[in-house]
Amino acid sequence: MKPTYRSTYNEHLIPQFWQSLIHPDYWAYSSWLAIATKYRRTSLGLLWAMLPTAVFVVVLGNIYSHLMGYPIEQYLPYLGIGYVLWRFMIHVINDAVTTFHLHKAFIMEGRIRLTDFVLSSFAKAGFYLFFGGVIVLCVFLWSPILHVSALWTLLLTLPLLVINMAWVAVCIAMLGARFPDIQEVIGTVLILGLLLTPILWPIEKFPADSVRGIVVRFNPAFHLIDVVRAPLLGRMPETVSIVAVVAMGIIGWVLASILFRRYARFVPLWV
C-alpha cells in the first residue's frame, strides 16, 4: 500500500507522539550523537556529563548542610535528588523552547513529525538524568540513613514526572516557535526557580498551614520534584503534591492536545 498524504488531515498530538515513540531512529540517535560528540574532543569524555552534578552536590551539600544546620547524611541525598531532577526539568524546557528553530531545515523538508523534535530535546535531558542518576546512586550507597530498596518507587513516580514534562515541552516548544520572548522569559524564571523551589532548603521550613507555606506550594516544580524525591527518602509525599501532579498531567495533556491540533500546522511558517 502506498503512503498517502492529505493536507486536510489535522495531526492529533497523542497519535503523533506515539508514532514518534515507536520510531525513535532519528531523535534518539541524533540526540545521543549530539551529547557524544560534544565531549568527544575532551580528555575526560563522557565523565563531563557527570562531573558538574557531582561537584555541585558535594560542594554545595557540604556548605549548605552546615549553613542550614542539618546533618550531612540527611541533607546530601535531599539536595542531590532534588538537583538532579531540577536539572532534568530545565534541560527539557531549555531545549524545547528552541527545538523548532534549531530544526528549521528539517521542518522545511516536511518529512519528520514535529513531536520528534520535542522528543529529541527530551532524549538529551533524559541522558543527563541518567548520568545524574549515577551520582544519586553513589549518594545512596554512601548515606547510612537511606535504603537502596527505596529505588523501586521510581518505577511509579518517575513516569509521573516524565508525563508532566512531556506536555510542558510540547507547549513550550510551540510557544517558543511563535514568540521569541519566551526564551528570555524562561531564562529569567529558571534562575529564580532554583532558589524558590525547595531544592537547597527543605519544605518543612514552611508548614502547609502558614501563608508562606501556601504560597510556596503554588510552585508546580515543587510538587513534581517532591513526588519523586520524598519516597526515595522514605517519606510519603504530601497528599496535595500527588493530587497536583495527577491533575496537572491530565489538564496539561488536554491543553497541549488542543494547542497542537490548532497550531501545529503554523509551526513551519513561524520558524
Partner 1 sequence: MEEVHAIAHGVTLRVPHFVQGEQRASSFASTLLAAAMARPRREYREILSGVTFEAREGDRVALMGRNGAGKTTLLRVLSGAFKPTSGHVEVRGSVQALLNLGLGFHQDATVRENIFVRAAAMGMGAGPVASQLDAILDFSGLGHAVNHRLSTLSSGQRMRLGFAISTSVQHDIMLMDEWFGAGDAEFVEKARDRMVDRVAGSSIVILASHSFQMLRRICNLGMVLDAGEMVYFGPVNDAIDEYKKIYQATPEYLARRKFEAENEALVTQRIVARASSDAGDDDAA
Under the rule (CB under 8 A), what is the footprint of partner 1?
1-8, 25-26, 29-30, 33-34, 36-38, 40-41, 105-112, 265, 268-270
Cβ–Cβ under 8 Å, residues 48 and 39: yes
Least Cβ distance, residue 1 to partner 1 (angstroms): 7
Nearest to 258 by CA among 183, 170, 195, 178: 170
Least Cβ distance, residue 37 to partner 1 (angstroms): 4
Cα–Cα distance, 236 to 93 (Å, whole number):
27
Between helix 154-178 and helix 181-196 the angle, nearest 10°, is 150
Cα–Cα distance, 178 to 184 (Å, whole number):
13
CA angle, residues 109, 110, 116, in degrees to nearest 5: 105
Measured between alpha carbons, how far is residue 161 from residues 114, 225, 248 in Å?
Answer: 22, 8, 10
Measured between alpha carbons, how far is residue 100 from residues 6, 179, 185, 219 in Å?
Answer: 23, 12, 17, 27
Least Cβ distance, residue 46 to partner 1 (angstroms): 14
Cβ–Cβ under 8 Å, residues 50 and 148: no
Q: Helix, strand, or coil here: 235? A: coil
Q: C-alpha cell of 75?
A: 541533607
Instruction: Give the residue with the Cβ less far from partner 1, 195 or 269.
Output: 269
Instruction: Give the residue with the Cβ less far from partner 1, 2 or 69.
Output: 2
Least Cβ distance, residue 254 to partner 1 (angstroms): 23
Instruction: Give the residue with the Cβ less far from partner 1, 111 or 148.
Output: 111
Instruction: Give the residue with the Cβ less far from partner 1, 37 or 149.
Output: 37
Nearest to 163 by CA among 102, 129, 122: 122
Cβ–Cβ under 8 Å, residues 117 and 99: yes
Instruction: Give the residue with the Cβ less far from partner 1, 25 or 204.
Output: 25
Least Cβ distance, residue 45 to partner 1 (angstroms): 13
Between helix 181-196 and helix 72-102 the angle, nearest 10°, is 180
Least Cβ distance, residue 121 to partner 1 (angstroms): 15
Instruction: Give the residue with the Cβ less far from partner 1, 91 or 103.
Output: 103
Instruction: Give the residue with the Cβ less far from partner 1, 116 or 226.
Output: 116
Least Cβ distance, residue 29 to partner 1 (angstroms): 5
